[in-house]
A and B are shown apart, each in its own frame.
Chain A
Amino acid sequence: MVEDRSVPSRVLNGLNILLLVVITLLCVYPVWYTFVISLSDKAAAGAGEVFLWPKGFTLSSYEMIIADQQFFKSFFISVQRVLYGTLITLFVIVLMAYPLSKTSKQFRSRNIVMWMLIFVMLFNGGLVPWYMTMKSLGMVNNIWGLVLGGGLPVFNVILVMNFYRNLPKEMEESALVDGAGPWRTLFNIFLPLSMPVIATILVFTIVYHWNEFFQALVLMTKNENYPLQSYIRQVTVVVDPSKIDAESAKRLSSSSNQTLNAAKIFISMLPLLVIYPFFQRYFIKGITLGSVKG
């Protein structure tokens, strides 16, 4: 592109870059701050002396987590949930999107199913009826309530269906000529070609199941059944009204669990931070797939 080398333009570009750097740092700093707090001495953290580097470096928070049975239990429940939830969701979506990608001429019931999907995507019974249903289905204190309770992710079905539809028709026809049935066509031709969109919904599904905390909060009556996010919420976020007024806030700050909480928060986002660079290019594809269309 053509460069503008006039003085005002250079000053503006410089300011622009500076501002962008500040904005970017603002996005990453809270994560970094949590990390350094978790490695700091309790007293130093409580006194607000920690900004960029750990002060009074100690691993005691992490040692406490290692001794914390409930943390590991919750971590394992989350892992389980992500595993089951992702496998089932992907399987169901891949299967369902295929017949729906046909024209209504090829598959007459397509439009009815499609309208039903759109309807449940836009309308739901609300929280209380949902809870009642889950209860009557025996989904309370049951990991399957977490895996399936969010319902069919209709938007992902539509994403995959749109992708199938844009694959060249000739491939399917030649497969049919060669004697392949619909299952073979789906698994040997459509599925390998649709890896970009599968990777996208894989990312969305993993992140959804890892981050979801509310259903677990409602469905799990025993804290020991909480997945990680619900457990983290229980220990860090639930506001104890006594912490709010100034006096008790001051008193609490010296003896609080600040560093331990920071360590727990940091560990619970660690899996995401680690896989994040790898899945980045997929979700970019996904969001543009889902949003801009001619």
Chain B
Amino acid sequence: MRNKGVVIHYYLMLLPGLVWLFFFNLLPMYGILMAFKDFNPGIGLLKSEWIGMENFKYMFELDDSKEIFANTITIALAKMVGNLIVPLVFALMLNEVKNRLFTRTVQTIVYLPHFLSWVIVAGIMLDLFSYSGLVNQLLALFGVEPILFFASPQIFPSLVVGSDIWKEFGFGAIIYFAALTSINPEMYEAAAIDGASQFRRLISITLPSVLPVAVLLGTLSLGNILNAGFDQIFNLYNPMVYSTGDIIDTWVYRVGLINMQYGLATAVGLLKSVVGLFLISISYTLAYRFANYRIF
């Protein structure tokens, strides 16, 4: 193999990507130093004084921190469970329908919300759930007094989780559809000849065939337990629901970029990144061990 001459071209091909990677992915990591310094924008990051773990200590003394960590994990966990089960049940339901035109139409429509931005979805939701909005009108039919959905800390997390499931279940079902179409139809025929009912076939053939996919997705999603969905909450929340709706990412935005407490916000962000990296590594290792899943 005439390797030497070729390798130079390989490096040339990598160059644009590596430059991009350096400036926009790697360079920001240098700023992590802010977490360990008393950052003074006037004199720059390098000259700012080291303060060790002060920012982290301060973080744990704040009342906010317990709240935002708890909110983040609660919301993320609920989303994780919902986004695992709802697409699976939906895919199984649709798989029972034999009319191709119907299934194709349904699929096309349920994929759509995934492609709408959270700005748009939030805009629509704020209108639907407003004081005189459609949802309150419907509730009025049942004699329920109008509810201020987006001002209620009790209701807010359910709105977040519910709208996330609404937006993503169709898209999440794609992978189950793929698994369902790969089931050998002869299995169903053999089972039918043996007298298995439609329900029996669902339980004994279909479900076991897609369960490994569900377990794999569940394992991989464990790495995201600190990602409760910044874009979504950022667009939906307001000061009245901070107590249940504020998550790590939104808090970092407010404290860091709005209140300009750079060091503190960087420290919280760093803690989140490190724990996240650790969790993702674990979930990938598990997925590789048990399902032979690899990303490359």
Q: Determine the distance from Cα of A218 to Cα of B150 in the docked complex, in whole angstroms.
A: 24
Verify if A253 is at the interface (C-beta below 8 Å from B): yes
Interface of chain A, main secondary structure: helix
Partner of B269, one of A1, A2, A116, A128: A128
Near B by CB (< 8 A), chain A positions 14-47 give 16-17, 19-20, 23-24, 26-28, 30-31, 33-34, 37, 46-47
Comparing B17-25, B58-66, B69-77, the segment that makes contact with chain A is B17-25
Which residues on A sit within 8 Å (CB–CB) of B94?
20
- From 278 to 294 in chain A, residues with beta carbon under 8 angstroms from any chain B beta carbon are 280, 283-284, 287-288, 291-294
Q: How far is the CA of A93 from the CA of B14 in the complex (A)?
A: 9
**Quick check: B238 and A6 within 8 Å, CB to CB?**
no
Tell me which residues from 209 to 226 in chain B have a Cβ below 8 Å from any Cβ of chain A.
Answer: 213, 217
How many angstroms from the CA of A253 to the CA of B262 in the assembled complex?
39
Bound-complex Cα distance A158 to B295 (A) = 8
Decide: B239 and A28 in contact? CB cutoff 8 A.
Answer: no
CA distance A46 to B137 in the complex (A): 12
B97 CB-CB contact with A under 8 Å: yes
Contact A12 B199 (CB under 8 A): yes
Please determine whether B253 and A120 come into contact, CB atoms closer than 8 angstroms: no
Pairwise interchain contact B175-A292, C-beta atoms closer than 8 A: yes
B46 an interface residue at 8 Å Cβ cutoff?
Answer: no
The yes or no answer to B208 lying at the interface (CB within 8 A) is: no
Contact (Cβ within 8 A) B277 A288: no
Q: Are B166 and A123 in contact (CB under 8 A)?
A: no
**A12 to B197 Cα, complex, angstroms:** 12
Q: A12-B199, A183-B9 are in contact. Are A124 and B17 (CB under 8 A)?
A: no
Q: Would you call A130 an interface residue if the criterion is a C-beta within 8 Å of the partner chain's C-beta atoms?
A: yes
Number of B interface residues in the complex (CB < 8 A): 111
Q: When the two chains form the complex, which single residue of A28, A161, A276 contacts B296, counting CB atoms closer than 8 Å?
A: A161
CB neighbours (8 Å) of A212 from chain B are: 117
Q: Check A129 against B32 for contact (C-beta < 8 Å).
A: yes
Interface centre among A46, A239, A249 (most CB of B within 10 A): A239
Q: CB distance B174 to A127 under 8 Å? A: no
Chain B contact residues: helix, strand, loop or mixed? helix
Does A67 have its Cβ within 8 Å of any Cβ on chain B? no
Contact A20 B265 (CB under 8 A): no
| Selected contact of B112 from candidates A28, A137, A161, A236, CB within 8 Å | A28
Q: Knowing A241-B238, A250-B131 touch, does A186 contact B13 (C-beta < 8 A)?
A: yes
Residue of B nearest to A6 (CB): B197
Among A56-64, A194-202, A264-272, the stretch in contact with B: A264-272
Contact flags (1/0) for A84-124 with B, using CB distance below 8 Å? 00000001110110111010001111000110111010111
Q: Given contacts A27-B109, A132-B34, A150-B24, list 16 more A-B pairs with CB under 8 A.
A: A2-B188, A27-B110, A27-B170, A33-B128, A48-B132, A96-B13, A126-B32, A127-B249, A127-B257, A131-B257, A132-B28, A241-B238, A244-B240, A246-B146, A249-B148, A253-B130
Question: Which residues does B use to contact A, with CB under 8 Å?
Answer: 1, 3, 6-7, 9-11, 13-14, 16-18, 20-21, 23-32, 34, 45, 90, 93-94, 96-98, 102, 105-106, 108-113, 115-128, 130-134, 137, 146, 148, 150-151, 166, 170-171, 174-175, 178-179, 185, 188-189, 192, 197-199, 213, 217, 230-231, 234-236, 238-240, 249, 252-253, 256-257, 262, 265-266, 269-270, 272-274, 276-277, 280-281, 292-296
Can you name 10 A-B residue pairings with CB atoms under 8 Å? A99-B10, A106-B3, A126-B32, A129-B34, A162-B296, A207-B115, A211-B117, A214-B231, A245-B148, A292-B213
- Residue positions of A touching B, CB distance < 8 A: 1-4, 6, 9, 12-13, 16-17, 19-20, 23-24, 26-28, 30-31, 33-34, 37, 46-48, 51, 91-93, 95-96, 98-100, 102, 106-109, 113-114, 116-118, 120, 122-133, 137, 148-152, 154, 157-158, 161-162, 181-183, 186, 207, 210-214, 218, 229-230, 232-233, 236-237, 239, 241, 244-246, 249-250, 253, 258, 261-262, 265, 268-269, 272-273, 276-277, 280, 283-284, 287-288, 291-294
For the complex of A and B, list the 4 residue pairs with the smallest distance between their C-beta atoms, beginning with the closest: A129-B31, A126-B269, A211-B117, A96-B17
